[in-house]
A and B are shown apart, each in its own frame.
Chain A
Amino acid sequence: MADTSIQPGVAARSGRGWYKRNEIAVTPWLFLLPGVLFFAVYVIWPIFQSFQISLYEWDGLDRPVYVALEGAEITDAECDALGPRARGNPGCADSGTTASTAEYVGLDNYRELLGDRNFETSLWNNLKWLILYLLAIPAGLFIALFLNQTVFGIRLYKSMFFFPFVISQIVVGLVFSWFYRPDVGLLPPILAFFGLEGVNVLGDPTLATYGIIAAGLWPQTAYCMILYLTGLNAVDPEQVEAARLDGAKGHKMLWYVIIPQLKPATFIAFVVTIIGALRSFDLISIMTNGGPFGSTRVLSFYMFEKALSEYGFRMGYGAAIAVVLFIIMLFFIGYFLWSMYQDEKGR
């Protein structure tokens, strides 16, 4: 007990509340809590729900449950079996609750996917998107290098180049579909000027996907450009100076000095472009609606069509497509997380 009088600080500390004692450890979690909660409820939980729904055949509807009234000669099960007609039966009442109409089918939805030609088309189109969308990275870098200079009005030019990223994808899609239109579009007269035959890009099943990707590259290039412009700001002028003294010029300077320093920007550009390619949906929906004859579908669009669109009543099948898309995305996301982790460790 003598200690306490000698070390009053300890006594005072142990006398404080639990929160005060653990403040440093607890506070970050408190700040994280709302985010973690929403992320868990609206992102993590639905992922597992998708896995579950993909094992069922379900039209997305719940039916009302009917029960027998007390003292009636009919049982609960009989009332429920009557369905909506139970309303006309004096012994039954609406229980106010609903039951799902889902039916467990195991892996049937996945088996059906294997033989589904539309699913195959969607997968191939997703691959085309993944590969061609990456063109946005070099294109963005090129424009960023071009714009990274100090002349009069450069801010205005930069913002003009950035503009396509600011406008909605829906607007981009509309603009491009008008551009391609065979009757009033700009593309046919341009082709005619060069003596080429007019081509209905969005009406041709072999070209339509490329036409949409071209439209998607327009805003995506602007996005990559802005990433590189900020990256170029961070390039160390002393290194550039030193390289210049050593006689580095042109593309050698670019390849060995500038681009290595832009690695963080390239990484982010890669991440957003891959994710952007995999979630391409709005452009397809507005430009071709998946057509002609389903040739421009990608997985996300096909999922929407099967589960949620005007004619889509197959939640289970849609969920199975979503699970496949999730696994593909998981592959990339896993890689991104791993490489970020390596990066953190290296510091």
Chain B
Amino acid sequence: MKSFAKWSAASAVAAMMATSASADGHALSGDLVIFSDMSNPAPRAVMEGMVERFGAMHPDLNIELTIIDREAYKTQIRNFLTADAPDVANWYAANRMRPYVDAGLFMDISDLWAEEEFANLASTRGAMTIDGAQYGVPYTYYQWGVYYREDIFAELGLSEPTTWEEELANCQVIVDSGRACYSIGSKFLWTAGGWFDYINMRTNGYDFHASLLAGNESWTSDEVRATFANWRQLIDMGGFIADHQSYSWQEALPFVVEGEATAYLIGNFAVQPLRDAGLTDDQLDFYQFPAINSDVELAEDAPTDTFHIPSGAQNVEAAKEFLRFVVSAENQTIINAGDALGQLPVNSAASVDDDEFLNQGFAMLSSNSPGGVAQFFDRDAPAEMAAIAMEGLQEFMVFPDNLEDILARLEDARGSVY
């Protein structure tokens, strides 16, 4: 009985402290629990650095950071959002967050987006919006595009293609020299999704692409067939490495390093391992995926990684302050620098680190992507559709003749998923 009295007294004091703290406004106190999926070495250091700097700004706040393995996080998030919600959690933009938004597990933070600083994040506002409200903030994104062997292009007398005809002509020269034009590892399927994103956005434009992935266009339509016909041109001429269905994206990197393939359509995250494998900036370069249909505007894939506040958050005030801190220009400059994440800041007032690839990516996304910025195949399409579709895309890359069957299957899935 005595211990119970003590306990209730203590909790009453704690409750009083909590209320007084929230009344105070600026001096944050209590606990801030953060779950993060930034488990790879560089992102981990970035996350720990952010917590440290935020902690220094708010000395009374006790920050508990839990870093969970990036892959395991994808399944654990379902449990912890329901059962034991942190105050801040990592996740992804666009359709990837829809299940949690629909279940009411992510907090509506439209009030944050109404603040002045958030005007600088306009480029990803759409990706963070579902049904007119915003549910998270971006901390980084990165460009996709063609990373190629500059030295081999020079040796063969090729230049960066800007049209599909140039692209096919280049590829013919490369194939004739005994190499493959493109390396790809499609074992885990999503790399094929990147190819579809680009060829479809270049053939039919961003709006059709977005509408297709949202389930509003048919997979058996002429537009989609045109996309696959263009893709097939590259496949039939031997443009892709053989047996790509057996490799992960990392296992397909050596083909570029050893010069058996001259280029790789991939995200900027591939630059670091390519450099680590010994390619210098004189050997490696970047170009924007060439135009196919001159009637459509260029659009790009730029997957955005985000922070969210779960509905079950206990210390909402501190969580919002943390999100403000995350999106600030100063912080985004620091965390996206070449020695940290090595990616692009979303805040337009932040500065980009002086790196050959980041500069090109930044220029491309800020001035040469008039059609729009997509997230990525498996983030724009609902999860179930993405899984079924990417399997079909991989099959198409290996057996292009199965196209009719694949398209019928996808159209069938469209009927049941949406």
Contact = CB atoms under 8 A, between A and B. Distances in A.
Interface of A: 59-64, 83-85, 87-88, 94, 98, 101, 112, 117, 180-183, 200, 202-203, 288-289, 291-294, 305, 308-314
Give chain B's interface residue range (CB within 8 Å of chain A).
35 or more
Given A60-B78, A84-B106, A293 B391 contact: yes
Nearest to A184: B254
Chain A interface main SS type: loop
B370 interface: no
13 contacts: A61-B78, A61-B105, A63-B105, A64-B104, A64-B312, A87-B107, A180-B246, A182-B246, A183-B243, A292-B246, A310-B75, A311-B386, A313-B383
A45 to B, nearest CB: 18
B387 A63 contact: no
Contacts of A294: 391
B26 interface: no
Given A291-B394, A314-B384, 14 more contacts: A61-B100, A61-B103, A83-B104, A84-B106, A87-B107, A88-B108, A203-B245, A291-B391, A310-B71, A310-B74, A311-B386, A312-B383, A312-B387, A313-B384
Chain B interface main SS type: helix
Contacts of A88: 108
Interface in B94-111: 99-101, 103-108
A62 B82 contact: yes
Nearest to A112: B416
Given A310-B74, A310-B383, A313-B99, A63 B392 contact: no
Contacts of B78: 60-61
Given A293-B392, A312-B383, A288 B187 contact: yes
Contacts of B394: 291-293
Contact of B387 (A83, A292, A311): A311
Contacts of A312: 383-384, 387
A29 B65 CA distance: 46
B81 interface: yes
Nearest to A88: B108
Nearest to B111: A88
Given A87-B107, A293-B395, A181 B99 contact: no
B56 to A, nearest CB: 30
Nearest to A305: B387
Given A60-B78, A311-B383, A203 B391 contact: no
A182 B108 CA distance: 50
B269 interface: no
B81 A85 contact: no
